[in-house]
Amino acid sequence: MMDLVKFMRMEMNDQVDNKEIYISGAPACPGIVIGNTSLYQRVRPHISDTQIADDEVEDHIHKFYEALDIAEEELRALSDNTDLKASTDLIQMQIAILKDPELHDRVEQEISANNKPVDSAVESIFRNYLQVIRRNHRDEFQNKSVDISDIRDRLLQIIHDKRDDIEEGTILVARELSPREIISFSNRDIKGLITDRGGATSHAAIIARSMNIPTVVGAKKATEVINSGDEVVLDGRNGEVVVYPKNETRKKYESLIAQQSKKKADFESLCQKPNKTSDGTPFTLQANIEFAEELSIANKYQAEGVGLLRTESIYLSSKDFQNIDHQVAFYASILELTAPHQVTIRLFDVGGDKFFGDEEKEQNPFLGWRGIRMLLEQPKLLKNQLRAIYKTSGDFIGRIRILVPMISTINEIRKLKNIIGEVKKELLSEGVDIDKEIPLGLMVEVPSVALKADLFARHADFLSIGTNDLTQYTLAVDRGNERISNLYDQRHPAIWQLINGVAEAGKRNEAPVSVCGELASDPISACCLMGLGIDTLSMNAVVLPSVKQLLRENSYADMQQLAGKVLQAETLDDINNIFSNWETK
Amino acid sequence: MIKKKVTIVNDAGLHARPAAALVKLASKFESDFYIHLYGYKVNGKSILGVMTLAAEKGAELELELDGPDEEEATEAITELIDDGFGEVYEDGDE
């Protein structure tokens, strides 16, 4: 029947010749897919309002316990599938609800004493609980009541033996998806995900990435425009969705997919090969990450540790991150998953706008109170983070490095070192095991630091060049301003000159230099960085294979020659010419 | 039967995770376990019941335990609550 309907719709599509529609959202997991869609809705089955006969009571009670068993089994399967702390907590709470003895008694009572059918009994008992919980709790608990209604809905679906309308092998379109829902798709062969709501850094998006399902989120009207069974193209690289693609559009994407799948196969064998240039010079590729889930891709692509662990969103998204033990658990989980490599933890890097309201808004936040400037004036926040890092270090001696954002004066380093000294002393006097030799590194993102790199290198154990902000500050271009975004290019000759200065200063002062900005994820720029003597690059793990490929295909001697030419270049056009000549050589 | 008063000390109160921990611990004992607060009485082995309490930091609960292992149960449960369910916030200032 369903197939017939689909067939008829396809016929109609051909006749009416639907116009191609482009929808754009935020790219959440790269990859291109073409396929038919399933519209995913959270099903709330119709609840029966009849009464059951006395001899049906037994049967309905039995159905209730059966549904509890099935739901619990599903949740246990999910929890085996995730290392995610937050998901495990959620799953444990939902399992505890299924095992709640009082819930069992009440539902049984409702069925046997009031002759209610099982679905209506479950519905009304949960309604009672939710009413009391919502009345007694402050607003923030509302989130949890969503998890309670989620498990109720699942029970009702099981009782009605209702499967969601997901067809295997389709692209799912939904208003929004909970992390639990996405994890539950893992064995359903879902080709892609499109949601109306959500951002690329939402928890759901991160889980989609860790499962490697091409995903576009925040595609506002996707559920209104797309019908079940429509053909769509989903491009998870740039967040584009094409509904009713024209023949030529489909062909274009089909050839892209063919290219990509060939690349992907090549990547997997490539990643097993050693990190060496064609003439045998070794290099190190690391991952920039923010969440433990991102390590599944990083590990698949054989990243050698984490060159940049961002700590902002965990701080901002989770109130209980103020709790040192939770921070320790987070750092430890990253270190466990990256053994035996190093993890570079960047101290909390946000602006004051995250703490204060609009009235304190700065005119130029990027030139304002942020990074280390803010941390030194928020000693509690800074000390908490340092305590957590040092507490973690005892179990992972020699594997942690600390990276300081937005350094612009030597005085800031002195102050920070004093505070680190205090924290170490406190922990040692409390008898806590710590790594006493954690290297302290500086982000090179302010041009004055790059220009005085010798001075800063003497005060640091290592330097990490953040090309994103360095470019923005050097070229005086706000990268978020669309009118001037054409002026923003990390390959600018001035940036290469600064990077070269930092690389040389690092060598003179025995401070290793690495790059963690976007420039490192551009394969040819990566070769040029290598040519300047920077052999450690950190990037979004997704691009790691393409960088590795180009580095392996070329010789270190050629890269040095390339770097020499780039340093002679006068304009951005010169650089682009040098690069395209080098690539086609 | 034992009755005992305890105070919630962790900042976030008896929210979902602590409630799950409390119920899990209580369920290991045979004794019946009830919690009294603000005139409510809930089954301490029922997570939904415990969550309806909305006990915040500073709330004084009265535990009621009745059964063969009531003493061990009281001790274990009191310890969990006094420890803030392992969630007591440290003060990093000094």
Instruction: Note the pLDDT tens digit of each residue in B13-24.
Output: 887 788 888 999
Classify the phi-psi angles of A400: left when phi > 0, otherwise alpha if psi is within -120 to 50, otherwise beta: beta
- For an interface test with A, give the residue of B47, B50, B91 to mutate (most A CBs within 10 A): B47
Residue A296: CB partners within 8 Å, gap ≥ 6?
A210, A212
Distance CA A523, CA A387 (A): 38
**For residue B87, which residues of chain A lie inside 8 Å, CB to CB?**
320, 323
Distance CA A455, CA A457 (A): 6
Q: What is the mean pLDDT of chain A?
A: 87
Does the CB of B59 have a partner CB in chain A at under 8 Å?
no
Q: Report whether pLDDT(A195) > 80.
A: yes
What residues of A are annotated to the active site? 203, 516
Window A:390-409, CB contacts with B under 8 Å:
none
Does the CB of A133 have a partner CB in chain B at under 8 Å?
yes
Q: What was the ipTM of the complex prediction?
A: 0.86
Q: Among partner residues A133, A138, A384, which is closest to B51 by beta-carbon distance?
A: A133
Does the CB of A103 have a partner CB in chain B at under 8 Å?
yes
Cβ-count burial A368-404 (b if 16+ within 10 Å, e if not)? bbbbbbbbeeeeebbbbbbbbbbbbbeebeebbbbbb
Q: How many residues does chain A have?
A: 585
Q: pLDDT tier at B71 (50, 70, 90 boundaries)?
A: very high
> Using the 8-state DSSP alphabet, how is residue A446 labeled?
S
Contact B48 A387 (CB under 8 A): no
What would the two tokens of residue A583 be? 């690539």
Does the CB of A414 have a partner CB in chain B at under 8 Å?
no
Q: Which of A242, A392, A401, A225 is nearest to A308 (CA)?
A: A401
Which neighbouring-strand residues pair with A276? A282
For residues A351 and A246, the model is more confident at A246
Contact B48 A92 (CB under 8 A): no
- Distances in whole angstroms, Cα of residue A248 to Cα of each of A255, A256, A584: 11, 12, 29
% residues pLDDT > 90 (chain B): 59
Residue A26: CB partners within 8 Å, gap ≥ 6?
A198, A199, A200, A205, A216, A217, A218, A239
Identify the weakest region by mean pLDDT among A81-90, A184-193, A573-582: A81-90
Q: Report whether pLDDT(A394) > 60.
A: yes
Q: What is the mean pLDDT of residues A3-23?
A: 59
pLDDT of residue A78: 76
Asked if A234 and A32 count as a contact pair (C-beta separation under 8 A), the reply is yes
**For residue B91, which residues of chain A lie inside 8 Å, CB to CB?**
380
Q: What is the mean pLDDT of residues A115-132?
A: 92
Q: What is the mean pLDDT of residues B81-86?
A: 85
Q: Report whether pLDDT(B88) > 50.
A: no
Does the CB of B90 have a partner CB in chain A at under 8 Å?
yes
Classify the phi-psi angles of A439: left when phi > 0, otherwise alpha if psi is within -120 to 50, otherwise beta: beta
A448 phi, psi to nearest 5 deg: -60, -30
Helix or strand run (H / E) with residue B73: helix B70-82
Distance CA A127, CA B49 (A): 13
